[in-house]
Amino acid sequence: MRRADADRRALERELHDGLQQQLVGAAADLALARRLVDDDQRSLVSRLEAIAGDVRRALDEAAKLAHRLYPPLLESGGLAAALRAAAATLGIRVRVHAPADGEYPPEVAGAVYFCCVDLLEQVPPDMEATITLRDDDGVLVFDVATPGTAVPDEIRDRIEALGGNMRLDGTGVSGSLPLSR
């Protein structure tokens, strides 16, 4: 639960310090623009263009935050597709090996996804990682081959909270989660 609480606090900070501040700024700019309607139409157009840019950035920020809560591709495309997309977003080379029928319970897929993404964030840009997913008699086993990777307590907590385990070896990190509880 420590990881979940820390994640919630981080999202709350991002909402307050990022998205909320952007929207407060846009509201203030709109109030200023209202006063410009009668006085200075050229300044009004410029101000409205700036506000439109601020709103686009706030929308992008909201989409990023929503993606961090639960990426839509995880549900629509599956775990392997979501991991490939996350790697592309991070700008690292990753090979994902997964069963063709790899459908997993949402809480298991989410836990593995966020663990793998946390581990991929540690990969230097010049290295390549390999993620292997396999169903081993009702247990989802995942291996993230990234030499030199550490397993932060938050990742371990996320997996253990669902009855799984993690281990570190010379080639990377392995974890497993039961597919049913």
Number of neighbours of residue 109 by Cβ within 10 angstroms: 23
Beta strand 165-169 pairing with 139-145? unpaired
The domain containing residue 118 runs over which residues? 77-178
> Nearest-CA neighbor of 77 among 46, 98, 58, 91?
98
How many separate domains does the chain show? 2
Q: What is the CATH number of the domain that holds 153?
A: 3.30.565.10
Same domain flag for 89 and 58: no
Per-residue model confidence as pLDDT tens digits over 123-165:
887 788 899 999 888 899 999 987 666 677 777 888 888 899 9
Measured in residues, the chain has a length of 181
Same domain flag for 92 and 51: no
Does position 1 have pLDDT exceeding 70, yes or no?
Answer: no
Q: Which of 23, 48, 69 is the last residue of a domain?
A: 69
| 112 close to 86: Cβ distance less than 8 angstroms | no
Place of tokens 């938050």: 154
Same domain flag for 36 and 92: no
Same domain flag for 103 and 146: yes
Same domain flag for 96 and 45: no
Instruction: Indicate if the alpha-carbon torsion angle 3, 148, 132, 66 is positive or negative.
Output: positive
Per-residue model confidence as pLDDT tens digits over 53-76:
888 888 777 777 766 677 888 888
Q: Which of 13, 37, 69 is the last residue of a domain?
A: 69
